[in-house]
Amino acid sequence: MARYTDANCRLCRREGQKLFLKGDRCYSSKCALDRRGYAPGQHGQGRSKISDYGLQLREKQKAKRFYGLQETQFRNLFDKAARKTGITGENLLILLETRLDNVVFRLGFASSRKEARQLVNHGHFQVNGKKVNIPSFTVKPGDVIKVKEKSTNSPKFKEVKEMSITVPSWVSVDVEKLEGKILSVPTRAEIDTPVAEHLIVELYSK
């Protein structure tokens, strides 16, 4: 599957806010957005009026980039959200949040969603005792996500054990055991991703 391979910091600059794509670097003085807070490219510092369509498109692009999805993946997830009962925009964010790669990031086992996706791909995690190496795997309340026994002695997870981790209220984590649990389906109020999901719904509803 196609993957974005250009500089991740360009994406943050294009959206005008931190997408936290490079882990610790995003919190340091090396953050490209802090150093060059304008869009990349020759005309990045120019001013232009954004149309309603442009605003909707930017929100969709921002959401895609936050969660590391390609266009087809994102559109398929939107269609799934639209078929569910409830508010489509909120359904979309819930589906994005309950992807395994995002949950691994939320549990503090990875410094970014990109790193989380890589760790899942490499088979470092189990869900309810079974190895799962599919980043898009959807977790449910009651599911237990745990670092595979063979992986617990790796430098990466030894470092995690020494960290102080704060997690959202819809998950719990036992850092010593390198284990997390899904307590409930996240509500919109519990999702802190700065995305105006109604604009994405308006875009796809045209």
Tell me what pLDDT residue 50 has: 80
Does residue 7 carry a pLDDT above 70? no
Nearest to 102, CA basis, from 73, 72, 59: 73
Q: How far apart are CA 42 and CA 126, in angstroms?
A: 46
Half-sphere exposure of 45 (CA within 13 A, CB side): 3
Better pLDDT: 142 or 12? 142
Full-model pTM? 0.79
Q: What is the pLDDT of residues 90-125, one digit of tens each?
A: 999 999 999 999 999 999 999 999 999 999 999 999
Span 151-175, average pLDDT: 94
Q: Where are the alpha helices (DSSP H) in the chain?
A: 8-15, 32-35, 52-67, 71-83, 88-97, 100-106, 113-121, 155-161, 197-204
Strand order in the sheet with 144-147: 130-131, 125-127, 144-147, 179-182, 171-174
pLDDT mean across residues, the chain: 87
Tell me what pLDDT residue 147 has: 97
End-to-end CA distance of the chain: 28
Tell me what pLDDT residue 3 has: 56
Cβ contacts of 172 within 8 Å, gap of 6 or more = 180, 181, 183
Q: Which two tokens stand for residue 1?
A: 């599957």
Tell me what pLDDT residue 1 has: 44
Dihedral over Cα of 22, 27, 33, 35: its sign: negative
Span 139-155, average pLDDT: 96
Q: What is the pLDDT of residues 36-63, one digit of tens each?
A: 655 665 555 665 678 899 899 999 999 9
